[in-house]
Amino acid sequence: MALPLKVDLEALDINSQSEYVTYSKQVHDYSPAIKKLLDLSEDYVPGSERAFKAGRPAVWCQGGNYQPPLLYALGVTPVAYSEMGRYSSKEDMLLAEDVYQFPVETCSMLKCTVAQWHKRLNTGTINRILGSSSSCEPFNLSWELMRLRGYDVFVNEVIYRGPSVEGERLEQLVDFTVEQLRDVAEWLTGSRDVDETKLSFEIARKNRLLRKVKKVLDLRILHPFYMKSLAIILTLNVGLNNYFGRPDDYEAAIDELIVELENTPIDEKEIQKAIPLVWAGGTGQEFGVYEAIDLAGGALLGLRSAPFKDYREDIPPLEAIARWVYDNSIAGAGVYARHVLDAEVTRLKARGVILYGYIGCSFASIDREMWRRFFHEKGLPCVNLEGSFQTGAPTGQVLTRIKAFVEMLAA
Ligand code: SF4
């Protein structure tokens, strides 16, 4: 039931990212838990906007890193603006170019996000943006543009820990970040005080879910085709970060998934057939790439965003968040994420690494090149792909290269 489907991607006639999610629900017909996770993903943005209109505070934000625990503790839903990409089309690209004068070569991630915000102006939906200076220059520009258009925008300073930063300098960074977190609280609530009981509750919830999702990832080694690439990417990269705006429902679905996986008989043929792969790089909206991996017989079992470290629960919660930020793969330098990738390659005995980024994104291309060299020196095959933050059907060239790479590994 869960083995790769022998169908041609083009025959699926899927033309939008939303259609991929619908298709993924059909593919996972045997798993109520995965369908619930995909339902949550599908309703994340619209559901958060509905809740906002009904009175629940919400902000557009990265939806990861330090933001969700802090925002949930403040009673605010974090809504990841990157998830708006799946509602975008070629018309959104044109809108961004015409109204905001973006050069045509500007990355599509930025153009579709700005266009989506533009279309929401004066519609009564979420009107606050929590930006991050650690994103990229195009996004830094977008905060200013949206502020000029009337959004209430707050932007944190850059978070970055150089590879050799320790001791007193690190303590300064932690203190500085705690004040930054208080700045966010003040912007959202008018007070720099953060309820420590609520924040500790959110940290405990996050640690609990990090452990549960780690368990899912371990069980996937025994059932490599049970949860396919798009479903795990949405569950991990979006859901584990911000719970799709519905923490209790997300946790219940993860619990159900663990039970399903534990109760599914192990099929040795399935394990032998799987080609374990690690995904290194961005996971945007080009959902067809993930389907191409599945259809070629690859099993995307390792991800750059795999849970790496828990939050400390033995220190004040704001400090715990600041220390987690500087002690994790998102601390800035590419070497931190490489440690996670290397741990994933070892854990899974991976046979290949897929490096993926967006056309026009200088932000991530240097990291990808460093990682490619690192894994090549270890003798591990890598493919370095550039796709787009897709707004339509997937690009043929990327799909062809994925298929060829997986087939080469299989041979
Ligand atoms: S594709 Fe790269 S440069 Fe463009 S918005 Fe995303 S991170 Fe920034």
Q: 305 falls in which pLDDT band (50, 70, 90)?
A: confident
Predicted local confidence at residue 160, as pLDDT: 86
% of the chain surpassing 90 pLDDT: 66
Predicted local confidence at residue 11, as pLDDT: 63
- pLDDT surpasses 90 at 114: yes
Distance in Å from the first CA to the final CA of the chain: 24
Predicted local confidence at residue 46, as pLDDT: 97
- pLDDT surpasses 50 at 3: no
Gap between the Cα atoms of 157 and 242, Å rounded: 21
**Any atom of ligand 1 within 6 Å of the Cβ of 363:** yes
* Protein residue with least CA distance to atom 1, ligand 1: 361
**Any atom of ligand 1 within 6 Å of the Cβ of 136:** yes
Mean pLDDT value across the chain: 90
Q: Which atom of ligand 1 is nearest to the CA of 113?
A: 5
Q: Which atom of ligand 1 is nearest to the CA of 362?
A: 3
* Protein residue with least CA distance to atom 5, ligand 1: 110
Q: 395 falls in which pLDDT band (50, 70, 90)?
A: low
Report, as an integer, the average pLDDT of 357-381. 86
**Any atom of ligand 1 within 6 Å of the Cβ of 110:** yes
Q: 107 falls in which pLDDT band (50, 70, 90)?
A: confident
- C-beta contacts of 371-375 below 8 A and 24+ residues apart: 371/280, 371/334, 371/337, 371/338, 371/341, 374/338, 374/342, 375/341, 375/345
Measured between alpha carbons, how far is residue 80 from residues 63, 243, 337, 410 in Å? 4, 11, 21, 36
Report, as an integer, the average pLDDT of 347-375. 87
% of the chain surpassing 70 pLDDT: 95
Say if CB 74 and CB 4 are below 8 A apart: no
Predicted confidence (pLDDT) per residue in 141-166, tens digit: 999 999 999 999 999 988 888 888 99
**Any atom of ligand 1 within 6 Å of the Cβ of 81:** no
**Any atom of ligand 1 within 6 Å of the Cβ of 9:** no
**Any atom of ligand 1 within 6 Å of the Cβ of 358:** yes
**What's the 184 CA to ligand 1 centre distance in angstroms?**
23
Q: Which atom of ligand 1 is nearest to the CA of 106?
A: 4
Predicted local confidence at residue 96, as pLDDT: 94
- pLDDT surpasses 50 at 2: no
Report, as an integer, the average pLDDT of 297-307. 88
- pLDDT surpasses 80 at 213: yes
Q: For helices 317-326 and 167-189, what crossing angle results, to 10°?
A: 120
- pLDDT surpasses 50 at 1: no
Q: 295 falls in which pLDDT band (50, 70, 90)?
A: confident
Q: Which atom of ligand 1 is nearest to the CA of 136?
A: 8
**What's the 32 CA to ligand 1 centre distance in angstroms?**
34
Predicted local confidence at residue 15, as pLDDT: 75
* Residue spans of alpha helices (H) in 28-119: 32-53, 67-73, 90-100, 108-119
Q: 282 falls in which pLDDT band (50, 70, 90)?
A: confident
Predicted local confidence at residue 141, as pLDDT: 92
Lowest mean pLDDT among 113-117, 299-303, 330-334, 388-392: 388-392
Predicted confidence (pLDDT) per residue in 69-82, tens digit: 999 999 999 999 99
Predicted local confidence at residue 118, as pLDDT: 97
